[in-house]
């Protein structure tokens, strides 16, 4: 199973949609907790749904069960916790939510997890992809940057 990830910041709309269009992904699964902020620009939920359909022929799904909790996200943004702490807490949250059983594998097959961070190193989309790869065992992860 192929699973892609992408962040939209520090990418032009052209680069962002070209990466998606040429990736082989069939849908974008938005794993942001908040997807309607003005900061999101072309990646705001309703605009993104339209752009993906029209420019890439892709579906769009928003899954907050693959997002951090509001408290965890706030602690990270406020620099109250470091990355290793965030990572441990988010991984525990994924296990608690049992996302490997509640999110259909068919939804994520040939899908691309979307978040805002430019690269996957300090982004929960990477943690989601790695968690699913660990529990499902047949996931090939490709980060689009």
For 30-44, the pLDDT digits (tens) are 999 988 776 667 888
Residue pair 1/105 in contact by the 8 Å Cβ criterion: yes
The total of structural domains in the chain comes to: 1
The pLDDT tens digits for 81-123 are 999 999 999 999 999 999 999 999 999 999 999 999 999 999 9
Average pLDDT taken over every residue of the chain: 95
Mutual angle of helices 70-77 and 83-97, in 10-degree steps: 170
CA nearest neighbour of 104 among 1, 34, 19? 1
Domain hosting 55: range is 2-144
CA nearest neighbour of 107 among 127, 128, 92, 123? 128
- The span from the CA of 127 to the CA of 133, in Å, is 10
- The confidence score (pLDDT) of residue 33 equals 92
- The span from the CA of 118 to the CA of 5, in Å, is 10
């Amino acid at each position: 199973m192929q699973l892609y990830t992408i962040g939209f910041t520090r990418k032009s709309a052209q680069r962002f949609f070209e990466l998606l269009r040429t990736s082989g992904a069939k849908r974008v699964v938005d794993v942001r907790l908040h997807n309607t902020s003005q900061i999101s620009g072309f990646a705001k939920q309703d605009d993104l749904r339209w752009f993906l359909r029209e420019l890439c022929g892709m579906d769009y799904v928003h899954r907050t069960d693959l997002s951090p909790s509001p408290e965890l996200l706030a602690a990270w943004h406020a620099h109250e916790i470091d990355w290793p702490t965030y990572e441990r807490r988010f991984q525990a949250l994924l296990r608690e939510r049992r996302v490997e059983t509640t999110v259909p594998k068919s939804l994520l097959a040939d899908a691309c997890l979307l978040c805002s961070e430019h690269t996957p190193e300090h982004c929960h989309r990477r943690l989601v992809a790695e968690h699913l790869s660990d529990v499902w065992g047949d996931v090939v992860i490709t980060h689009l940057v």
